[in-house]
Amino acid sequence: MHRRDFLGLVGVGALAAVGPDAALGGLPTSNVTLTISPVVVELTPRLAITTTGYNGTSPGPVLRMREGVPQIVDVINNTDVPELVHWHGLRIPPEVDGAEEEGTPPVPPHGRRRYHFTPTPAGTRWYHTHTMAMNDLHRGSYTGQFGFLVIESSGDPGHYDQEVFLALRDWEPFLTDQMIDADALGQQWPQTEKPQTTDSRPNGLEVTAALYSINDKALGAGEPIRVREGQRVLFHLLNASAIENRTIALPGHRFQVFALDGNPVPSPQGVDQVLLGPGERVDAYVDMNRPGVWILGGVENDVRSSGLGVVVEYANQQRQPEWFPPSRSPWDYTIFGNQVRSPSRTSSGADDVETIDLVFEKVPRAYAPFNGFLVNGQPYPHEREFVLHRGRKYRLVFRNRTDDAHPLHLHRHSFELIEIYGKATSGIIKDTVVVPNYGKAVVQFVADQPGPTLFHCHIQQHMDYGFKALFRYA
């Protein structure tokens, strides 16, 4: 379908019968059952797609679990292929984490499997399939198998008037060699990892999409988010895409970001736009103090008009939803961290910290027609895995020698971001970080979760074609 045809179908302002809330009511959870089966997602009243989802919907239900309270989750697989449910951002054992590389047993086709785990840490997590897709764009994270998971603590959640969960998605992916680089991070960074001569071989086919939604609705097709002047709205934002980093904004409003990947940050800050790599979450308050009808959506015009948005409507306001571009202030993780004066802290192998260098490279058309990726010169699996010693502190130096920004995810652990864009920081705890093209990031973590631990790029095609590694405990 041509993008223009799709625009005609959506028609900002059209209303669908079922709003996003229908799919997102919280479940009481001492026990949870997730049923994997084919679903129909009505992106607009006139355009539906078929995919695979949880409990008859995509996104799946917002799951709420209590931190530290043991949980039983039953997964029923009503599809013809083995499946895995990964609990993203949780510190849980490899047998239940949901990665085959770590040894989690898959849920067999038309079978079921019971998981026992004790959810921790508190915060905005999510759950999603972790199967390989390779060249099948109807498998893995290209499907609708994802949902929010909130791990609740006894801590004070702070004051807000309503809570809104927004998952960014793209649909009906296809392959192209005309990838438009959407990785304009706005941020300036030293390209310390750029090789003297860059690879000039033609690029392989990459996955892209031209159809987007927030939760299960394209812009204008679902119920608006209804607000009143003076309200404080708590937004949980997730990029559930398999393919692309995204930047979103709400014109005339600021996102007061207080948590990254579900973990409170040392310096909450207001920002005009939020960048999310696949897998990342941002929690933010928005004070509703500019009455009108607005589009909360992707900053790229073609992406937003192809569905990536939702209408925010103040009470007693009737007009066409408005959009204007946010200020061009770049996304910068470090503004949410503690100020660190000496960047040398990150480069010298100080104290009791062991440094592991991870060099990422792309090999154009290594798996023709697709690109391949190398971690320290080798695609997965590595002959000798990276070995961790329990209780020891590690510093991972991500050296991105490719022309893409990659969202890098470490399973079953949280890490502290200590350097990015050539700036030192501290106190930002994450599980996924977008490392800019030809740039470097440094993270630090304590090896306190024994068992095999998967590390990978959260872009499905990159992971499938080599961009992953396994850490083992000695």
Instruction: Enumerate binding residues for Cu ion (CB under 5 A).
Output: 406, 457, 459, 462
The SS3 assignment for 129 reads: strand
- Between 22 and 182, name the residue whose CB sits nearer to Cu ion: 182
Q: How far is the CB of 110 from Cu ion (least distance, A)?
A: 33
With CA atoms as reference, report the closest residue to 12 among 45, 40, 41: 45
By the 8 A CB rule, do 65 and 152 touch? Answer: yes
- Between 123 and 204, name the residue whose CB sits nearer to Cu ion: 204
Q: How far is the CB of 306 from Cu ion (least distance, A)?
A: 23
With CA atoms as reference, report the closest residue to 425 among 326, 353, 332, 288: 332
Q: How far is the CB of 309 from Cu ion (least distance, A)?
A: 25
What's the DSSP call for residue 378? B
- Between 34 and 207, name the residue whose CB sits nearer to Cu ion: 207
The residues facing 66 across adjacent strands are 152
Tell me the two tokens of residue 309: 């948005």
Report the distance separating Cα 453 and Cα 93, nearest Å.
9
By the 8 A CB rule, do 248 and 237 touch? Answer: yes
Beta strands at 338-339 and 386-388: parallel, antiparallel or unpaired: unpaired
Half-sphere exposure (CA, 13 Å, Cβ side) for 199?
Answer: 15
Rounded alpha-carbon distances, angstroms, from residue 346 to 340, 360, 386, 425? 10, 19, 21, 9
Q: How far is the CB of 408 from Cu ion (least distance, A)?
A: 8
By the 8 A CB rule, do 462 and 448 touch? Answer: no
Q: How far is the CB of 357 from Cu ion (least distance, A)?
A: 18
- Between 123 and 278, name the residue whose CB sits nearer to Cu ion: 278
User: Using CB atoms within 10 A of its CB, is residue 377 exposed (0-12), middle (13-18) or buried (19+)?
Assistant: exposed
- Between 83 and 464, name the residue whose CB sits nearer to Cu ion: 464
- Between 60 and 279, name the residue whose CB sits nearer to Cu ion: 279
Q: How far is the CB of 229 from Cu ion (least distance, A)?
A: 42
Q: How far is the CB of 456 from Cu ion (least distance, A)?
A: 8
Written as one string, the DSSP assignment of 159-173 is: --SEEEEEEEEEES-
Beta strands at 255-260 and 281-287: parallel, antiparallel or unpaired: antiparallel
- The Cβ of residue 106 has, within 10 Å, a number of other Cβ atoms equal to 18
Q: How far is the CB of 301 from Cu ion (least distance, A)?
A: 25
Report the distance separating Cα 120 and Cα 93, nearest Å.
11
- Between 73 and 457, name the residue whose CB sits nearer to Cu ion: 457
Report the distance separating Cα 239 and Cα 212, nearest Å.
12
Q: How far is the CB of 376 from Cu ion (least distance, A)?
A: 15
Q: How far is the CB of 425 from Cu ion (least distance, A)?
A: 22
- Between 14 and 182, name the residue whose CB sits nearer to Cu ion: 182
- Between 23 and 434, name the residue whose CB sits nearer to Cu ion: 434
Tell me the two tokens of residue 325: 């571009």
The residues facing 36 across adjacent strands are 54, 77
- Between 396 and 459, name the residue whose CB sits nearer to Cu ion: 459
Cα R_g (the chain), whole angstroms: 21
- Between 254 and 462, name the residue whose CB sits nearer to Cu ion: 462
Report the distance separating Cα 348 and Cα 414, nearest Å.
22
Q: How far is the CB of 447 from Cu ion (least distance, A)?
A: 24
